[in-house]
Structure 1
Amino acid sequence: MIWNSLGMTGELEKLKMYIESSIIDERNHIFKYTSPLTHPQSSQAKAVFLEYDRATSNDRYHNYNLKSLPYGNFQVEEKDIPSFYVFLAKKLRYHFTQDRKSYASDRILNPFKVYGEEGSVEEIGIPDYEFSGETDHGVFSSWLLFDHLFEVGEQIARRIEAKNFIGIQSHLNLIDDNFGFLMGRKNSYFQLKMDEDELYSWLLVEIESFKHQVEEKGLWKSLNKEPEKHFQKVFAAVLGRVSELFGVDMSAETCVGSGTVDFKFSQGSNSKVCVELKRSNSSKALEGYTKQLQQYLMSEKIDKGIYVVIDSGDSKSSYRQLLHFIENGKKQGENYPDIILMDASPKISASKQI
């Protein structure tokens, strides 16, 4: 489709407006379904409690009656009732049966769809501006914010499932600092100033996004058989770009007194997070977390660090010891959000799975 400059500008303005409107809707949705955990006495939280009660009442009534039946040859099973936390996590991820990000994307692009005579979509009357890097800056920034918000929402959902509620408020603060300008609270993009907890939450989200690129978007092909130094360079290329946008300083191979940490992310003198990378074939995959990273944190006088391990299917015993360490800790109620494991082993293409 050929666009004149005036028409293109008008369409881009509409696209940007739809993206920003969707961001506001999703921000409000996230705050609504976290309110029972952050403000349990609020009217919004009470509405969510009531919604859960209504959503599960029929199944609870079914199970109650089932237990009241006399013994006999009844082929009736109990209903599986989700816990309140599972209910909240599902609300953050899905709109009915469709995942929320896909649903929001469809709504944004619906006005630009061109339909054929049979009612099917023939084309979308606007180019794909998502991450081409060759687009209007305002639209690009809006798409980047859109993706980032859903990544934060997913991180919150995971914390709720793990019943790790302490960091949720930091995530919510991060959302309003990022997206509050759309609601009259900020003047421009990416003017976020983060304390250490917020920087840590932000980094977890961005590294999880990198993990998704590795495992689901084919980036594993560039990492599978490469040495650890190559892993560090790819990581730096991906995280460096978004760090620049958010005013975060990323320093590679920084000397911290007790050694050289792979990456140090900071904003000012009070917000610092160390990130250490390892491959699963390292003989120090376990020690890298239990000793090396902890020593770096002590040297920097901070308590926030993230440990990233990439598995190419050639792991050594130390990596298996790390997995055992995590499994044993979880059995005792420990949670390890600061350990991120990435699967870079070869994947079978979708066409060959049929």
Structure 2
Amino acid sequence: MKSIIQITILILFIYPSTISAQEKLNISLDNSCSYYGEKIVDDVYSFNSTDEAEEIVGRIVKIVGLEQNFDIKSANVPNALATIKNGSRLILYSQNFILNIKNATGTDWSGISILAHEIGHHLNGHTIISGGSRPNLELQADKFSGFVAAKLGASLSDAQAAISKFSSKSGSSTHPPKSARLEAIAIGWNQGNSGSKPPSEPEPVRESSNEKENVISNTTTTARIIYTGDNYGCGLPIQITIGNKTFTPNNNSFEVSGIPLGTQKYSIQGQINCPAIGGCSASGQGTLNISENATFYISWQNVSFGQCNIWLQPG
């Protein structure tokens, strides 16, 4: 009976419950994050995912208390990747790769951790940031996969199995070395066992101990606040306070008078609304050196599901 059950699970993973026609995808690596970093050289075709993969994804999003905001498809990709197509979030994985790595590592947890890693890319907003895979983003997704693996009951060695077996020892321009990835998984796994919230990697708050930051100057100037936009038509209904001046920009190039000169603290609160891919609550704070007719640019980064950091940087 045990052998029959094992064979049934294998068949479910190889053959989707519903057979559908292939769909050719135009994948942009600029908004894609892959597991090991191999280049895509062939045309990519997607197929229905398996019931087993859908169930694994359902368990992962449930255990972190989030809604599934992406689709999962089988495809002829080198391993697995998170990407965006026509404004919709996708996770693509190779069934052949998942089966091979399962056989090589001797555990189902390797495939689960890979899917968790790619889910981490979407939930941390990495695919809405131009540039594709980067070492810091890959480490965030590795931490998330370790966290999820712990919550699902995996041992640390199980959570690290896929990276231990095949990850590059030296790393690359897009992916960190094996030692860093194993450490990131261990950090996430320990957080999962301690009852912490899912890990993220927020931008550090740029603070200074200089007491002059608290001084509000009596001399003011007009400053320009610019948001250069993004690939997804996001709107930024935010409120900014610089020194003792609070204002709400109503366009992407906004002039505001009455900004105090000198070193001033600032804070930002509000939302980032992207019609195609969702939104997040945005907040940030820091310090600016205000000069005559200064220009500052708004930047933001998604750091966890529904949460973004936002800041000003001099022009």
- TM-score, normalised by the number of residues in structure 2: 0.28
TM-score normalized with structure 1 length? 0.26
**Bigger strand fraction:** 2
